[in-house]
A = this chain, B = another copy of it.
Amino acid sequence: MSNPTFTSFLTALRCAETGAAHDSTVLQSVSHRAGATLLPDYDLDAVRAAVTPEDIRRRPHDLWRFRELLPLDNPLQAPDLGAGATPLLRLRRLGEHFGLTNLWLKDEGANPTGTFKARGAAVGVARAHELGVRDIAIPTAGNAGSAWAAYCAAWGITLRVVMPVNTPDPIKAECVAYGADVTEVRGVISDAGRIASERAAESGWFDASTMKEPYRVEGKKTMGLEIAEAFDWDPPDVVLYPTGGGVGLIGVWKAMRELADLGWLKGTPPRLIAVQAADCAPIVQAWESGVPDAQRPDDPRTVANGLLVPLPFAHRLILRILHETGGTAVAVHDDQLVHAMRQLADLEGVLAAPEGAALVPALTTLLQRGDIGRDERIVLLNTGNALKYTHLVDRPARPPIDPLPA
């Protein structure tokens, strides 16, 4: 609990489309003219003068060890639920299966609420609180809802969650337990988004919709910072990311860009690869068509709730990032990703959420296309554990038996 007087190195929020600067000391949503995502900017010269990678290595293993690259003025006063510092696991047996010699998995299932969404919520809720927010509305495909509910509970902020009715039952239970007000809607996340926005506008609540809120991406950015540090600042060649709203992909890209600008990166930033579900793959379709804008699919479907985002708000930025990093986009079918849950569990002892498991069959496609090399350092970003998705996993095959006589 040292350094209680910390003040952030945040300088402005920049429009992802035009680069126009916006005041970061007041509450903001999207950019004023373009209506696009706002991304936090830092005084990197001052950061470089204030801290070194070696200083960071010595700090406690939590999100706030990267505080010079986060937007909070009082990170060490924030309620801490233990987000971040997740393990990076070597996948030896799955690697052998695919003929890959250097395959890794960043396991975000170790976060509070069991997913990477906790990182975004830890920073997003804390920054909203610093800016005076006491009422938040959030639409969610699932896990963002429970992560924001947990952090809002810790902060004493009132949260309204709007979610599709087909969100897994454990997520609904989490949100209720954390004291959030939950509305279920017969539709997908875009339907939830319209209801959340309308209610927020009516009632003066802060609308924390994905990428219309400038700070959660900074929490997700810490995944990229941790990956770079784990590889001793010589980042992996490739990161595969299951892309719904795309915040994590944007976060990893932003992490690598800031580290490069700081002069801390020994190698080049990784190629970022977006993986989506075949029946809800707007980014993959736009990528394959070579167009800068994605389109909403007609009948979006997937059992991987986190991938059921018909049109991510930041679709243009996501596509630009794939181009800029030399990445690509891949779609996988639902039966493949469900099979991969079992395959990853059976070979490596990791039961991943369906979104994370989707990265496994993507490897086959990427190898066939020549988009990844067999000896490249490849990181699968598993966004969560499967404990909210065990309805996708088989039960014991045999009927129960009676006890033996005592």
A sample of 18 inter-chain contacts (CB < 8 A) reads A80-B89, A82-B87, A82-B107, A107-B112, A112-B350, A114-B114, A150-B350, A150-B351, A170-B390, A172-B396, A173-B393, A174-B351, A174-B387, A174-B390, A176-B393, A176-B397, A179-B345, A182-B396
Given A110-B112, A186-B400, A395 contacting B349 (CB threshold 8 A): no
Compute how far the CA of A149 lies from the CA of B174 in the bound complex, rounded to whole angstroms: 26
Which residues of B are found within 8 Å of A20, using beta-carbon distances? none
| A184 interfacial by beta-carbon distance below 8 Å | yes
Q: Which of A341, A349, A351, A388 is the most central at the interface, judged by chain B CB atoms within 10 Å of its CB? A: A349
Compute how far the CA of A156 lies from the CA of B96 in the bound complex, rounded to whole angstroms: 14
| A86 interfacial by beta-carbon distance below 8 Å | yes
Interface window among A30-38, A187-195, A237-245, A270-278: A187-195
Instruction: Verify A110–B107 contact, CB threshold 8 A.
Output: no
How many chain copies? 2
Compute how far the CA of A185 lies from the CA of B395 in the bound complex, rounded to whole angstroms: 14
Which residues of B are found within 8 Å of A169, using beta-carbon distances? 390, 395
| A111 interfacial by beta-carbon distance below 8 Å | yes
Instruction: Verify B349–A150 contact, CB threshold 8 A.
Output: yes
The total of chain A residues at the interface (CB under 8 A) is 75
Given A87-B62, A114-B387, A349-B150, A191 contacting B393 (CB threshold 8 A): no
CB under 8 Å from chain B, chain A span 183-211: 183-187, 191, 194-195, 198
Instruction: Verify B183–A398 contact, CB threshold 8 A.
Output: yes
User: Which residues on A are within 8 Å of B, measured CB to CB?
Assistant: 61-62, 79-82, 85-87, 89-90, 92-93, 107, 109-114, 149-154, 156, 165, 169-170, 172-179, 182-187, 191, 194-195, 198, 341-342, 345-351, 385-388, 390, 393-404, 406
Instruction: Verify A386–B89 contact, CB threshold 8 A.
Output: no
Compute how far the CA of A404 lies from the CA of B192 in the bound complex, rounded to whole angstroms: 9
Given A346-B178, A396-B172, A403 contacting B82 (CB threshold 8 A): no
Instruction: Verify A187–B403 contact, CB threshold 8 A.
Output: yes
